[in-house]
Structure 1
Amino acid sequence: MSTGQATLPLLNTTLENCRMVIIGVDPHKDVLVAVAVDGNGRQLALRDAPARPRGYKTLLAWTAQFEQRLWAVEDVRHVAGGFVRCLLAAGESVVWVPTQMSSDYRKKVRASGKSDPIDALACARAALAEDLPAAVPDTEARNVKMLLDHREDLVGEMVRMCSRLRWHLHDIDPDFAATIPKHKLHRPKWNKSVQEFLARQAGSVAVAICVELIGRIQELAQRAAQLEREIAALVVIHVPQLLALEGCGPLSAARILAETGDVRRFTSAAAYAMHTGTAPIPASSGNTHRVRLNRGGNRRLNAAIHRIAITQKRMHEPARTYLDNRRAKGNSNTEAIRALKRHLARRVYALLKNGPDHAQADTTVQAA
């Protein structure tokens, strides 16, 4: 590899060379189960090992018998991340198999039921049949993903506490509880209103719990806001070009960066669309030509693109014109939005591939 522009090896998942062996791996917290299959999907060998560094070395030594090999690891990164990092450091070729895809291929395995060997075999056969992106070493995207996931966890905890606080307030005074707008108990204005209300109440266990909850809600809201600022700063550094896309805010841009990783691991815009779950699935019959919802791909990435599409529908005139034209051709509103999402996936891929220097690139939707 040259010292200039880094390139990623293209993994030929059609496997024209039948000597290629696919190692499907079903990862768990305590054990890794690996199944080796040949280019025709026939199972060759089965092995398990502890989900620890010594187990990683065991599996690497076991697969040394296969001269050409490709690892297909189920995409459960909180338990498989360390294993994949070890494989990449050893110079192995690895692809991530989405959990939904491995589930679909498990249903095609001749053996009925569900077990770790069956899941590993499903991962191997999925990699054999599908054009999956290569796993790459960790980049700044992993740091963004960790911050983003941590913020979402804190926000989720805050929402649950707001719900509990609302029920306690309802128990103390239903009339006052009815004056608090839903989903706004974390806002400073309503925090203050609740605190003033509680200060007027006689001491009781319910009041004490409410005071504790409101304090914790304030802490979580402040930390979530701080994390959002940190994430926004990282987005400006690493993917400012995404912010030029109408309807794409810092959190959506961060989610796209976090779930995409190194965009060069995708061989084309079409491969990226499959990863985002925006590639249409034909559902035509006779003279009826339609496509149906694609439930595959990375759902978090799909959700980010969906948010951009809905925002553009509301406030971006070229997108509104595009949707009107699609509906004029017979598409339903849902089908038109799916078409817009497919277009946005293509634009996102181009922006990521071109890099920050193209932050001012044209992001206009072409009327169809």
Structure 2
Amino acid sequence: MTVTRMTQAVPLDQDTPDIVLGVDTHKDVHVAAVVTTAGAFVESRSFPTTADGYEQLLDWAQTLGHLSRAGVECTGSYGAALSRYLHSQGITVFEVNQPDKATRRRRGKSDIIDAEAAARAVITGRATATAKASDGPVEMLRLFKMAKASATKSRAQAINQLKAVLVATDPELRDSLAGLSNPKLIRACAGLDSSAPGTVGATTHTLKLLARRIQHLTEEIEDLSTRITDVITQHNPQLLECYGVGPDTAATLLIAAGDNPERLRSEASFAALCGVSPVEASSGKTQRRRLNRGGNRQANSALYTVVLARLRWDTRTRSYVDRRVSEGKTRREALRCLKRYVAREIHRLITLASAGPHTRLLAA
């Protein structure tokens, strides 16, 4: 289906114009719009979310002018596959936020309007964040972490359910399992005889199923933990050598940076991404900064974990906190300062790993 706004469409000049592609992404169909760098709307068309559809979208856009930039909505979900394809074809992809409510009230809402707005966001410079490449080891880590988090949550639920069943079960069975640690309790429940009739048999069968589910989920978690460690060891081993950084913490921080960390222009950009950069809150004679509540909260939590580990075991970190507290800062403010310093250190390690051997040699 092709939808073109003829009132605003412009004929192409003999010289190929520079154009920008905007895409409003959906599950089954992507709506694309092309706008010249001068701001003239050219054409809009929809394409299926298939490999052939992505090729057709790019071929169509390139027939309308010289294409080097694209603004895509939802590059981490519906637009992820399209972003990867465009990136592989040498197109710089920018992540575009959906239009705010004020703009939608003024202009209305349609897929074509959103696609055009995505292109104009790139042209005007409102969209400055380069989309994650999602085509390398960091994408592998993201998938492993997602599966591990799901398995960990399910295992915790299964353990709670097993213990809840034990609370209300027959006293004789409950007493036979009392005092066991979680691993021993799960092994004992997995070997229960569920052949008894009535509620006793139903209870033992349920305990047996829950215990075996817990064992299976534990195996999944251990396998995923090994895979996460292997990926980090292969592609960024120096991150694991950083004091207080473990495999899960390293994976979270790498996922925040993406497979193309060069998209972050500086360590300050990485700090802002992690929500550890202070936000100005000054007015008149009052000069102050407040806590940054934005950014990637998982990455922020990972930095906090690193700080807590260093605060417990590293004497230099404890001395720093004591000094900042003596200067009038609260303990929380001192920890926020530490998170900012850790973000700078992590950014350096991530960017060095993505750089070439010559760059790493010079940095060393």
| TM-score, length basis structure 1 | 0.75
Of stretches 125-134 and 158-167 in structure 1, the one that deviates more from structure 2 is 125-134
**Using the alignment, how far apart are the partners of 1:192 and 1:210 within structure 2?**
11
Match of residue 157, structure 1, among 154, 157, 163: 154
Instruction: Tell me, yes or no, if structure 1 residue 288 matches structure 2 residue 286.
Output: yes
Give the paired residue count. Answer: 334
Distance 1:137-1:155 versus aligned 2 partners, 3 A rule: closer
**Using the alignment, how far apart are the partners of 1:143 and 1:131 within structure 2?**
25
Which structure would you say has the larger Rg? 2
Instruction: Tell me, yes or no, if structure 1 residue 222 matches structure 2 residue 219.
Output: yes
How far the C-alpha of 1:348 sits from its partner, in A, is 0.6
Distance 1:132-1:167 versus aligned 2 partners, 3 A rule: same
Distance 1:172-1:284 versus aligned 2 partners, 3 A rule: farther
Distance 1:87-1:327 versus aligned 2 partners, 3 A rule: same
User: Counterpart in 2 of 1:301?
Assistant: 299
Distance 1:211-1:132 versus aligned 2 partners, 3 A rule: same
**Using the alignment, how far apart are the partners of 1:31 and 1:344 within structure 2?**
42
Q: Is the 8 A contact 1:279 1:342 kept in 2?
A: yes
How far the C-alpha of 1:288 sits from its partner, in A, is 3.4
How far the C-alpha of 1:331 sits from its partner, in A, is 3.6
Instruction: Tell me, yes or no, if structure 1 residue 96 matches structure 2 residue 90.
Output: no
**Using the alignment, how far apart are the partners of 2:297 and 2:228 within structure 1?**
20
User: Counterpart in 2 of 1:111?
Assistant: 105
Relative contact order (alpha carbons < 8 A, sep ≥ 6): 1 or 2 greater? 1
User: Counterpart in 1 of 2:316?
Assistant: 318
**Using the alignment, how far apart are the partners of 1:269 and 1:168 within structure 2?**
51
The alignment partner of 2:94 has SS state of strand
Amino acid at match of 1:189: K
Q: Pairwise CA RMSD of aligned residues?
A: 3.8
**Using the alignment, how far apart are the partners of 1:22 and 1:336 within structure 2?**
45
The alignment partner of 1:168 has SS state of helix
The alignment partner of 1:204 has SS state of helix
**Using the alignment, how far apart are the partners of 1:156 and 1:322 within structure 2?**
36
Q: Is the 8 A contact 1:109 1:122 kept in 2?
A: no
**Using the alignment, how far apart are the partners of 1:336 and 1:120 within structure 2?**
44
Q: Is the 8 A contact 1:239 1:257 kept in 2?
A: no
User: Counterpart in 1 of 2:345?
Assistant: 347
Of stretches 303-312 and 217-226 in structure 1, the one that deviates more from structure 2 is 303-312
The alignment partner of 1:59 has SS state of helix
Deviations, residues 15-69 of structure 1 (Å, cap 9, x unaligned): xxxx865433332221213345566988765443221123223322342224354
Structure 2, unmatched stretches of 5+, are: 1-16
Deviations, residues 56-86 of structure 1 (Å, cap 9, x unaligned): 2332234222435422223443433321222
How far the C-alpha of 1:161 sits from its partner, in A, is 1.9
Amino acid at match of 2:287: H
User: Counterpart in 1 of 2:262?
Assistant: 264
Instruction: Tell me, yes or no, if structure 1 residue 188 matches structure 2 residue 183.
Output: yes
Distance 1:68-1:81 versus aligned 2 partners, 3 A rule: closer
* 1:231-246 paired onto structure 2 within 5 Å: 231-246=228-243
How far the C-alpha of 1:271 sits from its partner, in A, is 2.1
**Using the alignment, how far apart are the partners of 2:141 and 2:102 within structure 1?**
36
**Using the alignment, how far apart are the partners of 2:224 and 2:52 within structure 1?**
36
Deviations, residues 196-226 of structure 1 (Å, cap 9, x unaligned): 8888997332331121011111111122112
Q: Is the 8 A contact 1:32 1:48 kept in 2?
A: yes
User: Counterpart in 2 of 1:72?
Assistant: 71
Of stretches 199-208 and 53-62 in structure 1, the one that deviates more from structure 2 is 199-208
The alignment partner of 2:165 has SS state of helix
How far the C-alpha of 1:228 sits from its partner, in A, is 0.8
Amino acid at match of 2:84: R
Match of residue 27, structure 1, among 25, 28, 52: 25
The alignment partner of 1:72 has SS state of strand
**Using the alignment, how far apart are the partners of 1:334 and 1:20 within structure 2?**
50
Q: Is the 8 A contact 2:34 2:44 kept in 1?
A: yes
Q: Is the 8 A contact 1:26 1:73 kept in 2?
A: yes
Match of residue 136, structure 2, among 136, 139, 149: 139
The alignment partner of 2:79 has SS state of helix
**Using the alignment, how far apart are the partners of 1:341 and 1:180 within structure 2?**
44
**Using the alignment, how far apart are the partners of 2:338 and 2:41 within structure 1?**
42
Match of residue 129, structure 1, among 102, 126, 129: 126
**Using the alignment, how far apart are the partners of 1:49 and 1:237 within structure 2?**
38
Distance 1:171-1:239 versus aligned 2 partners, 3 A rule: same
Identity within the alignment, %:
31
How far the C-alpha of 1:346 sits from its partner, in A, is 1.0
Of stretches 228-237 and 115-124 in structure 1, the one that deviates more from structure 2 is 115-124
